[in-house]
Amino acid sequence: MPRSTKLSTYRAKRDFTKTPEPGGKNKIPASPRLRFVIQKHDASRLHYDLRLELDGVFKSWAVTRGPSLDPRDKRLAVEVEDHPLDYGDFEGTIPKGQYGGGTVQLWDRGYWIPEGSKAPHEGLSDGDLKFTLEGKRLKGSWVLVRMKHDRMGGKRNNWLFIKHRDGHALNGNGDSILAEDRSIASGRTMAAIASGKGRGPTPFMQKEKRGADPSAIWDSRKGLAARERAAAKGPARKKARA
């Protein structure tokens, strides 16, 4: 399936004249290893978005209570639409009223390695995807297991995100990792990101590019949002005058 088709749902849900989220048009340098990111997302409810690179996009799940290092904790992970790879460098504020409105922090990133004899596509199809994470915060063996039914009675594609027992697991207090409220890419807290303060995030997917503008509060009349809108209006005004 072409990447443009895979991202059709993602694009249909967003108005890119109002949200700072990438449209998926940037060319991302190829990597010999599969990348992953986890974004802390304070939308209608605080959750953590797990994204695994596969076939030119990020397969994505919203982990409702965040990851736990305790293998006894089974965290609900709602599968959502595929995201573009340049989303792996996104940190900022989605305006209220837009899809997923709220603050987004790059909470973890690194590489993931499929485990076992199954190809990752087969694991996804079977609803049993085992993998190792090599991130700044999450490490070791994990599994995503698809649930048979949406316990809320809807049509969501629900999975469970579970830590395997290994040297990186904890016996109890698995939530302790969530106390880390500093961006892995910029060092900013959620509050600093929401206010547009501090340095912008260091890119991971597009390493050759400079960090993003930290003042990207996209619902304001100043900063990067205003410059983007002015640039878009400029050609139209010149054409009208002509």
Q: How far apart (Å, rounded) are the C-alpha atoms in residues 111 and 52?
A: 9
Question: Of 40, 74, 118, 197, which one is the catalytic site residue?
Answer: 197
Does the predicted model carry a pTM greater than 0.75? Answer: yes
Q: Is 197 a catalytic residue?
A: yes
Annotated domain spans of the chain: 3-213
**pLDDT (tens digit per residue) in 61-97:** 999 999 999 999 999 999 999 999 999 999 999 999 9
**pLDDT (tens digit per residue) in 103-123:** 999 999 999 999 999 999 999
